[in-house]
Chains A and B, each alone.
Chain A
């Protein structure tokens, strides 16, 4: 029984782990912190997996757990940071014809998002992931109207950073 649950979890996680990576990228600024947060998200996901009933999609559930961990549970690592800054990493674009414009855009986007506060980061992330307002408001625990108001403000902030 436990073995089944484990292998199901690993399978579900594998298919959706890019969600966690993207969240770690916007909430941390170096590789050590990224790995720390990633690990904490994995721990929380597994700890709660038995309670996941499947009445929502696994990915929806994962968004919630990963964002909650980043916003509420995760504490910045106190270890001395020796690894390189994440900005030095290249962001890869999945496209048939290689074009570095998108890659540069992505780099600028991540850099801009990191300057937002934690809640705005979550809002912008959910917008970029194309989530409907209903899901956004349910994930954060605010009304849909407020989610819209707040989203517009967050978008304005982001635009200002991207196009000063």
Chain B
């Protein structure tokens, strides 16, 4: 049987109209993935931004003796500018999502919102790794001060031991953070965007054929 026969049956089908209250329904809350991506995105931006504000003053005092305060100050200002840029991008991308766009463009824009947040997280992770690396480098250049600062209680420890503890602690901190973030992504965006990613690839591959 060819498809035309089925098409005829399709055309003859009678779809029963619902008796539900469309008016009431149109005002109910959406549970679309765009809404969830927006909520998670905002929460992530808030989380990463507040993380920077939550660094206790005491932690910074540790570096006072190392003549890096200027560097910390400048990088903090740069950081604020970057946060602002990301916020603007996030808002612009979110705002450009329109359900009345064609399917491919719509999916592209949803993925852009997600990408903005992803880059913001990469930026923060990169920032953590980079600033730690720079600090370790600077601190190692002043070993005497480092040992004094790390071993404030005057315990009987070798210089090498103190430096090793310092490096290992920094590396573990970054690794733990990376794992938490990876798991977070798997459970939020991974689940949320599985279908969308698959469908987008399907349409996008097709366009790249020619």
User: Residues of A at under 8 Å CB distance from B?
Assistant: 6, 9-10, 13-14, 17-18, 21-22, 36, 38-40, 42-48, 51-52, 61, 64-65, 67-69, 71-76, 91-95, 102-103, 105-106, 108-109, 117-119, 122, 127-130, 138-143, 145-146, 149-150, 155, 158-159, 162-163
Q: Which residues of A contact B31 (CB under 8 A)?
A: 36, 40, 75
Give the shortest distance, in Å, between A72 (CB) and chain B (any CB). 5
Assuming the contacts A64-B100, A93-B13, asked whether A42 and B195 have C-beta atoms less than 8 A apart, the reply is no
Q: Is the interface of A mostly helix, strand, loop or mixed?
A: helix
Q: Is the CB of A140 within 8 A of B103?
A: yes
Give the shortest distance, in Å, between B85 (CB) and chain A (any CB). 27
Q: Is the C-beta of B34 less than 8 angstroms from some C-beta in chain A?
A: yes
Q: Is the C-beta of B76 less than 8 angstroms from some C-beta in chain A?
A: no
Q: Which residues of A contact B117 (CB under 8 A)?
A: none
Q: Is the C-beta of B70 less than 8 angstroms from some C-beta in chain A?
A: no
Closest 7 CB pairs of A and B: A141-B104, A141-B102, A46-B26, A73-B32, A18-B15, A94-B14, A102-B9
CA distance A64 to B209 in the complex (A): 24
Our pick among B3, B16, B198, B199 for the contact of A158 (Cβ within 8 Å) is B3
Beyond A76-B195, A130-B7, 9 additional pairs, beta carbon < 8 A: A21-B16, A39-B25, A45-B26, A68-B99, A105-B5, A109-B10, A117-B199, A127-B3, A143-B207
Q: Is the CB of B6 within 8 A of A105?
A: yes
Give the shortest distance, in Å, between B183 (CB) and chain A (any CB). 19
User: Residues of B at under 8 Å CB distance from A?
Assistant: 1-3, 5-18, 22-23, 25-34, 36, 98-107, 110, 192, 195-196, 198-199, 202-203, 206-207, 209-210
Q: Which residues of A contact B13 (CB under 8 A)?
A: 22, 91-94, 106
Q: Is the CB of B3 within 8 A of A72?
A: no
In this complex, what residue of B is CB-closest to A74?
A: B32
Give the shortest distance, in Å, between A133 (CB) and chain B (any CB). 14
Q: Which residues of A contact B207 (CB under 8 A)?
A: 142-143, 146
Q: Which residues of A contact B17 (CB under 8 A)?
A: 14, 17-18, 21
Q: Is the CB of A75 within 8 A of B32?
A: yes
Assuming the contacts A10-B22, A150-B206, A162-B6, asked whether A72 and B33 have C-beta atoms less than 8 A apart, the reply is yes
Q: Is the CB of B100 within 8 A of A118?
A: no
Give the shortest distance, in Å, between A17 (CB) and chain B (any CB). 6
Q: Is the CB of B196 within 8 A of A93?
A: no
Give the shortest distance, in Å, between A32 (CB) and chain B (any CB). 13
CA distance A130 to B10 in the complex (A): 10
Q: Is the CB of A71 within 8 A of B23?
A: no
CA distance A68 to B110 in the complex (A): 12
Give the shortest distance, in Å, between A123 (CB) and chain B (any CB). 10
Q: Is the CB of B210 within 8 A of A75?
A: no
In this complex, what residue of A is CB-closest to B25?
A: A42
Q: Is the CB of A68 within 8 A of B15?
A: no
